[in-house]
Amino acid sequence: MDEQPRLMHSHGVGMAGHPGLAQHMQDGTAGSDGEGRKQDIGDILQQIMTITDQSLDEAQARKHALNCHRMKPALFNVLCEIKEKTVLSIRGAQEEEPPDPQLMRLDNMLLAEGVAGPEKGGGSAAAAAAAAATGGIGADNSAEHSDYRAKLSQIRQIYHTELEKYEQACNEFTTHVMNLLREQSRTRPISPKEIERMVSIIHRKFSSIQMQLKQSTCEAVMILRSRFLDARRKRRNFNKQATEILNEYFYSHLSNPYPSEEAKEELAKKCGITVSQVRKSNKVSNWFGNKRIRYKKNIGKFQEEANMYAARTAVNATSVSAHGSQANSPSTPNSAGDCSEGKRSLLSYSDFATVLD
DNA sequence: GGTAATGATTTGAA
DNA sequence: TTCAAATCATTACC
């Protein structure tokens, strides 16, 4: 391109704004006196004014003649360079932007939730994680679980459909603009670099639309997730069988109703509930905590219940001893009578009931 | 709708 | 971290 200044000089295109006019005036077609110049400019203006009156064929012919002109490539290069050095050099500084941190956050979140990226079983992993965070899933929760998965899958589907639409629209628009600019580059100075730059501008615009889509999708996932977690938080009464198992243990260990971790796990297993390491969400621990305090507050009220379970335990014990085997209740490291660790005994009449019976 | 029962959570002590 | 105690919030029953 170091040939350009020479070309500019030798072919009289120094007047960047009016190259045609400059050349016209320099190659001797203009008159040397003022009157001649006026006449010449008048002719050019006349030509410009009559362009609109030309037929399509005439216009095409003129365009073709212009494109075939021997000086056209040189002129085109010079004009492109001038253009590059002026207006577009300012825009050039905006290129090579670092990736948007917000967009990265959104992308990461969509990936983590299983909305973007490869299908991860319709978000079952996320649902399982959400459920685990609240203390586990029982069989009764499978309906909500699948509901969560179905809704997440819907969100995923909508997201991908919309994303595809945006990408298609972006490609169509880019192709259209590129074709337009290529076509126009035959009559005005548009370099391939400028077309490339225009394409990147279009992509930037479309990616900002995509970011909105990603943001909306993230919001939808968050709402779904919070609803699901709220649903987990809702109270579910234990079924009758589970309550009986827990009561049986409680009343048969009334002197020290503090099941060990192993015992809790075994009870949870029997009741069909899970035990979390975090006490806050440990259903068995909650149950025993509530039971202890409520029993202690109103022993009289629970007396009948205590007697009933004590009798049942006695019957079981008799039947077990008749079969010559050990007690079948969950492991009881802190069994009755052992009131260590300063825990208060809830011993009452019912504890003796087994003996009396 | 009112009330009791009950699972979950919070708070403070050990 | 566990527990007791108080409290909240939901469910079950009338």
DSSP calls for A91-126: HHTT-SPPPPHHHHHHHHHHHHTTSSSS--TTTHHH
Same domain, A244 and A226: no
**Structure confidence by residue, pLDDT tens digits, A250-273:** 998 888 899 988 888 888 888 877
Selection from A204, A199, A137 nearest residue A174 by Cα: A199
C-alpha closest to that of A70 among A14, A23, A28: A23
Residues A307, A197: one domain? no
Residues A215 and A111 in one domain: yes
**Sign of the torsion angle spanned by Cα atoms A286, A288, A289, A293:** positive
Statement to judge: residues A146 and A273 lie in one domain: no
Å between CA of A176 and C1' of B10: 63
Smallest CA–C1' separation from A232: which nucleotide? B8
For the CA of A327 and the C1' of C6, the distance in angstroms is 37
A227 and A196 together in one domain: yes
Residue A33 has pLDDT above 80, yes or no: no
CATH number at residue A297: 1.10.10.60
Which residues, including other chains, have CB under 8 Å from residue A199's CB and lie 6 or more apart? A174, A177, A178
* CA of A354, C1' of B6: distance in angstroms: 27
d(CA A102, CA A221): 17
CB A293 under 7 Å to nucleic chain C: yes
Nucleic strand C near CB of residue A296 (< 7 Å) = yes
Residue A212 predicted with pLDDT over 80? yes
As a rounded value in angstroms, the CA-to-C1' distance for A162 and B10 is 45
Tally of domains within chain A: 2
Work out if A238's Cβ lies within 7 angstroms of strand B: yes
What average pLDDT is seen over chain A?
70
Q: Indicate whether A216 belongs to any domain.
A: yes
* Subset of residues 93-122 in chain A with CB less than 7 angstroms from any atom in strand B: none
Would A166 be classed as within a structural domain?
yes
Max mean pLDDT range (A7-21, A110-124, A212-226, A267-281): A212-226
Q: Please check whether strand C approaches the CB of A281 to within 7 Å.
A: no
Under a CB-based contact definition with an 8 Å cutoff, are residues A51 and A59 in contact? yes
Residue with tokens 């615009």: A205
The residue type found at A310 is A
Cβ pair A256, A334 in contact under 8 A: yes
CA A84 – CA A14 distance, rounded (Å): 16
Strand C nucleotides in reach of protein CB atoms, 7 A cut-off: 1-7, 9-12
Judgement on whether residues A226 and A256 belong to the same structural domain of the protein: no
pLDDT (0 to 100) of residue A14: 39
Q: What are A109's two structure tokens? A: 């979140």
**pLDDT over 90 at A291, yes or no:** yes
- The letter for the amino acid at A293 is I
Residue A209 is assigned to a structural domain of this protein: yes
Which nucleotide is closest to A258, CA to C1'? C3
Give the residue with minimal CA–C1' separation from C12: A237
Q: Which residue, of A188, A217, A236, is where some domain finishes?
A: A236
Q: How far apart are CA A323 and CA A168, in angstroms?
A: 76
Q: Can you read off the two tokens belonging to residue A21?
A: 């006019």
Q: What is the CA radius of gyration of chain A?
A: 42
Residue A333 three-state SS: coil
- Reported confidence tier of residue A69, pLDDT bands at 50, 70, 90: confident
pLDDT in tens, A322-339: 665 444 445 444 443 343
Q: Is the CB of A292 under 7 A from strand C?
A: yes
Residue A294, domain member (yes or no) = yes
**Which nucleotide's C1' is closest to A261 (Cα)?**
C2
Which range of residues forms the domain containing residue A168? Answer: 101-117+141-236
Residues A255 and A283 in one domain: yes
Mean pLDDT of the A41-45 span? 68
Shared domain check, A105 and A214? yes
Output A45 or A11, whichever has higher pLDDT.
Answer: A45
- Of all nucleotides, the one whose C1′ comes closest to residue A237's CA is B7
Q: For residues A159 and A265, what is the distance between their CA atoms, to the nearest angstrom?
A: 42
pLDDT of residue A48: 63
**If you average pLDDT over residues A311-316, what whole number do you get?**
78
Closest CA to A288 of A342, A234, A246: A246
Residue carrying the six token digits 């609109």: A52
A234 touches strand C (CB under 7 A): yes
Least confident of A158-172, A205-219, A278-292: A278-292
Do A105 and A205 sit in the same domain of this protein?
Answer: yes
**pLDDT, tens digit (0-9, with 9 covering 90-100), for A120-146:** 544 455 555 544 444 444 444 555 566
Shared-domain flag, residues A186 and A112: yes
Instruction: Please tell me whether residues A210 and A112 are part of one structural domain.
Output: yes
Q: Please, which positions of strand B sit below 7 A from a protein CB? A: 5-10, 14
> In the prediction, which pLDDT does A289 show?
92
What does the pLDDT average to over A194-199? Answer: 86
Two tokens, residue A79: 């004009």
Residues A161 and A218 in one domain: yes
